[in-house]
């Protein structure tokens, strides 16, 4: 099949600036391209050409960062290029505009977080999206269950496909390819003879790394050789000193335990820090879909302490490859779980080995690609929920999406249709203020704050 993979508007593919979705796409592309003619549509970046073909995969890049700008570029490209199947990543609000200009294409959707939540997409549009797609792939059962609870009719289309990791790149520090790198990093940063605890992720309040820093005084009473390395920044490829970043650094500076903050680390170098560590801790206090750092820590042979939030615990088998903190709000709970691992060196070693075993047996990119290929195969046989007459979306779907023009040809007035599609994103507050008799005006206005993704 001729297949288009539509990325999000935030970060480019390949993941030169990082990003879980971008890493996921790049991880499976080499395998998918052996079976289908693949084009990847994403945002442009100064480090990448606007179009290129590499290893048989076509890349097209359009302006992004802002959803509405990106949507326009996506629609214009699809309007002029036919694909048998279009796979959209994490942007359900792209589905109806894409359907408008691709009436004959199958559409599948991958969900990596909460973009179906009520504050992200109007229910009328979400219902139409569920109708239009043949399958909805999620990165965890948690994400799928949230969608199911909001839109029960999506149940038959939902399928969890756990992410993967490059086990040839993420290797244990004891591996022959990583011993020298591990030794060099530890020597350069004064980590020799230390038990290194690693956090890797964005430095934001919902990621909760401050809890780990605040757990250090309790741990240091029992363990005198500890060091903490915090890898990451406020946002991908950025090193802005936000209030939270400043807070974490101030906490770190006050500790008797050495705490190193690296700032942003290139996704092409991040594996070296995993190899230099001895224990990985994920401190998320929000309902995280499922952080991909878990897969990377497993591949690096690190025991894991994570939180019982969102999908994170789905890849942790307690006492096998890690432990789970039930209440991550309290730093003491991290101290207890970390201490439980550090106090038993045999268990610590076995957890790391089991994690590596899981990475090699459960979380290879080949497995992810195989499951995606099966989804696409199933989609070939799925009935398109689309009106055949004049190549237009059915009236109900058009009205639900707020797209103007009940029976217009899909190629007519595309800019107007796509702009009006956002009309359903009015906030409830705005709706309460408007008269029920002013329905037409209500569909033309929208609150920009509620259109952010």
Other CB atoms within a 10 A radius of the CB of residue 238 amount to: 12
Predicted model pTM = 0.85
Q: Tokens at residue 402, please?
A: 């707020």
Q: Which fold has domain 179-363?
A: Rossmann fold (3.40.50)
pLDDT computed for residue 422 by the predictor? 41
Helix (H/G/I), strand (E/B), else coil: 427: coil
Q: Are 40 and 381 in contact (CB under 8 A)?
A: no
Which parts of the chain have pLDDT scores under 70?
A: 236-237, 383-453
pLDDT computed for residue 381 by the predictor? 80
Q: How buried is 242 (Cβ within 10 angstroms: 0-12 exposed, 13-18 middle, 19+ buried)?
A: middle
Q: Are 197 and 277 in contact (CB under 8 A)?
A: yes
Using CA atoms, how far apart are residues 61 and 75, in angstroms rounded to an integer? Answer: 13
Q: Tokens at residue 46, please?
A: 């100064």
Determine which helix (DSSP H) or strand (DSSP E) holds 303, and give its type and residue range: none
316-359 tens-digit pLDDT? 999 999 999 999 999 999 999 999 999 999 999 999 999 999 99
Using CA atoms, how far apart are residues 5 and 449, in angstroms rounded to an integer? Answer: 28
Which positions ≥6 away from 387 have C-beta within 8 Å? 393, 394
Assign residue 301 a region: left if phi > 0, alpha if psi is -120 to 50, beta otherwise? Answer: left
Alpha helices by DSSP H, listed for 137-208, are: 141-150, 179-188
Query: One fold for both 2-164+369-451 and 179-363?
Result: yes
Sign of CA dihedral 393, 394, 399, 405: positive
List C-alpha distances in Å: 23 to 19, 214, 346. 6, 31, 33
373-395 tens-digit pLDDT? 999 999 988 755 443 333 444 43
Using CA atoms, how far apart are residues 36 and 390, in angstroms rounded to an integer? Answer: 29
Alpha helices by DSSP H, listed for 259-410, are: 270-276, 293-299, 331-342, 345-362, 365-380, 395-401
- Of 3.40.50.1820, 3.40.50.1370, 3.40.50.2000, 3.30.200.20, which CATH number belongs to 2-164+369-451? 3.40.50.2000
Domain boundaries, the chain: 2-164+369-451, 179-363
270-297 CB burial, b ≥16 within 10 A, e <16? bbbbbbbbbbbbbbbbeebbbbbbbbbb
Using CA atoms, how far apart are residues 372 and 450, in angstroms rounded to an integer? Answer: 32
Q: Are 261 and 239 in contact (CB under 8 A)?
A: no
Determine which helix (DSSP H) or strand (DSSP E) holds 9, and give its type and residue range: none
pLDDT computed for residue 240 by the predictor? 86
pLDDT computed for residue 383 by the predictor? 57
**14: preceding bond cis by omega (within 30 degrees):** yes
């Amino acid at each position: 099949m001729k297949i288009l993979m539509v990325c999000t508007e935030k970060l480019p593919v390949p993941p030169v600036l990082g990003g879980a979705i971008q890493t996921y796409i790049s991880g499976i592309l080499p395998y998918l391209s052996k079976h289908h003619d693949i084009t990847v549509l994403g945002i442009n970046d100064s480090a990448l050409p606007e179009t290129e073909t590499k290893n048989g995969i076509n890349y097209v890049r359009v302006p992004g960062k802002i959803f509405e700008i990106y949507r326009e570029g996506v629609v214009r490209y699809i309007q002029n290029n036919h694909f048998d199947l279009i796979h959209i990543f994490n942007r359900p609000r792209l589905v109806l505009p894409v359907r408008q200009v691709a009436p004959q294409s199958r559409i599948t959707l991958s969900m990596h977080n909460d973009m179906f939540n009520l504050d992200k997409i109007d229910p009328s549009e979400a219902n139409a999206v569920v109708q239009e797609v043949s399958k909805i792939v999620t990165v965890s059962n948690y994400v799928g269950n949230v969608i199911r609870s909001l839109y029960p009719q999506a149940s038959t289309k939902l399928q969890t496909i756990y992410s993967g990791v490059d086990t040839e790149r993420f290797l244990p520090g004891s591996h022959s390819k990583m011993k020298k790198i591990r030794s060099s990093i530890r020597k350069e940063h004064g980590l020799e003879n230390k038990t290194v605890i690693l956090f890797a992720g964005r430095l934001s309040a919902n990621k909760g790394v401050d809890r780990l820093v605040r757990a250090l005084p309790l741990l240091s009473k029992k363990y005198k050789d500890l060091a903490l390395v915090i890898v990451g920044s406020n946002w991908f490829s950025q090193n802005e000193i936000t209030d939270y970043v400043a807070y974490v650094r101030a906490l770190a500076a006050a500790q008797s335990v050495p705490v190193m903050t690296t700032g942003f680390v290139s996704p092409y170098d991040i594996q070296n820090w995993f190899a230099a560590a001895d224990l990985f801790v994920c401190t998320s206090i929000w309902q995280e879909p499922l952080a991909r750092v878990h897969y990377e820590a497993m591949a690096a042979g690190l025991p894991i302490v994570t939180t019982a939030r969102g999908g994170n615990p789905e890849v942790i088998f307690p006492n096998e490859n890690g432990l789970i903190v039930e209440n991550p709000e309290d730093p003491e709970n991290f101290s207890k779980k970390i201490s439980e691992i550090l106090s038993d060196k045999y268990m610590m070693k076995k957890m790391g080995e089991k994690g590596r075993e899981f990475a090699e047996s459960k979380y290879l990119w080949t497995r992810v690609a195989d499951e995606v290929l099966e989804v696409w195969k199933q989609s070939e046989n799925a009935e398109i929920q689309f009106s055949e007459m004049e190549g237009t979306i059915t009236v109900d779907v058009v009205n639900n999406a707020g797209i103007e023009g009940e029976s217009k040809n899909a190629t007519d007035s595309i800019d107007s249709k796509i702009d009006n599609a956002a009309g359903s994103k009015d906030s409830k507050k705005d709706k309460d203020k408007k008269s029920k008799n002013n329905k037409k005006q209500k569909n033309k206005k929208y609150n920009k704050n509620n259109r952010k993704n």
